Amino acid sequence: MSPEHRSSDGFRLRWWKLTRDRRIRRYYKVHRVIKISLGTGDHTRPGWLNTDYEPLNKEIVFVDVTKRFPFPEQSVDYFHTEHMIEHVPLSSAQFVMNDERSSRAAKFVLLRRIS
């Protein structure tokens, strides 16, 4: 990887982290039911706070699912993930599924398309 590429990646990560909390607060202000989509990729869901480790556009908020979630405790009504959990190490996947601090009722919506 070239030094320029590493530098731009570092800048993007810092920008995502700096703007994340403001964007999360904005979502919370306009939504009564809090729905978080983890690992959105390029499949944003209307009405959900779409998150990803590498946001592809400005509608997607940076979240590293291997770390503590940046959401207020007991504030999330639903989590959604589709084709994300298999991309993280097993110990981190277990952490994601067992981290109940952010969730009001630990509800996950797990979808899988069957071809």
pLDDT of residue 4: 43
* Average pLDDT of the residues in 105-113: 53
Rounded Cα distance between 75 and 14, Å, is 25
> Taking the CB of residue 97, how many other CB atoms lie within 10 A of it?
14
pTM of the model: 0.75
pLDDT tens for 61-93 read 999 888 888 998 888 888 888 877 667 766 666
- pLDDT-based confidence at residue 99 (cuts at 50, 70, 90): low
- Say how many C-beta atoms besides its own lie within 10 A of residue 72's C-beta: 13
List the domain boundaries for the chain.
3-110
Question: Across all residues in the chain, what is the average pLDDT?
Answer: 78
Q: How many helices (H) and strands (E) does the chain have?
A: 2, 5
